[in-house]
Amino acid sequence: MIKPAAADVWRYPYLWHRQHGDGETEGRKSRPVAFVAVLPGKAGGTNLFILAITSTQPGRDRVAVSIPEIERHRAGLDPMPLWVMVDEYNHDILEASAYFEPGARIGAFSPSFHKKIMFAFTAVVRTGQSKAIPARGLNRQNRARS
């Protein structure tokens, strides 16, 4: 199994914050996402911090990083304007995920572009403006056991 790494781009059923707020628990479709961080958890497992990639131009109230043409090509994305949304993210646990598909890797961003995404993401997190969707796969698995 290929494990994700920071800067990777995969297909994943991303759950938008607005959908989560409306009570939805499943992403409506599998879409390209960027792994901003992949970190070992304190209790074991691998934490995935996942950012949505969208073709919809973000509004002024959103924080996003425009993906340059060379990075779209490098990551195996469509040749159209795309953005990485950095003001919200999905958190998942790789080993417990009901959503992560091992064969869904598309490509990866360059280290320098990933650094730009990480900088924008951490700036939003530091200001408290980031919206997190908790580890859905872990929650779903634990509910199934009870």
Q: Which residue has the tokens 């607005």?
A: 18
Q: Can you tell me the distance from the alpha carbon of 36 to that of 52, in angstroms, rounded to the nearest whole number?
A: 10
What was the pLDDT predicted at 1? 67
- Could you tell me the pLDDT band of residue 73, with boundaries at 50, 70 and 90? very high
Give just the sign of the alpha carbon dihedral 71, 77, 83, 87.
Answer: negative
The string of pLDDT tens digits covering residues 38-71 is 999 888 899 999 999 999 999 999 999 999 999 9
Nearest Cα residue to 4 out of 51, 42, 43 = 51
What was the pLDDT predicted at 138? 44
Q: Which residue has the tokens 């992560």?
A: 100
Least-confidence region, from 4-8, 24-28, 66-70, 133-137: 133-137
Q: What is the mean pLDDT of the chain?
A: 90
Provide mean pLDDT across the span 72-77: 98
**What is this structure's pTM?**
0.89
Q: Does the pLDDT of residue 124 top 60, yes or no?
A: yes
Nearest Cα residue to 89 out of 23, 12, 4, 1 = 12
- Could you tell me the pLDDT band of residue 145, with boundaries at 50, 70 and 90? very low
Q: Does the pLDDT of residue 79 top 80, yes or no?
A: yes
Of residues 22 and 117, which shows the higher confidence score? 117
**How far is CA 68 from each of CA 38, 43, 84, 101, rounded to the nearest angstrom?**
23, 38, 11, 26
Structure tokens at 7: 């800067």
Give just the sign of the alpha carbon dihedral 26, 31, 36, 38.
Answer: positive
Q: Which residue has the tokens 């879409």?
A: 31
8-145 classified as CATH 2.30.30.110:
yes
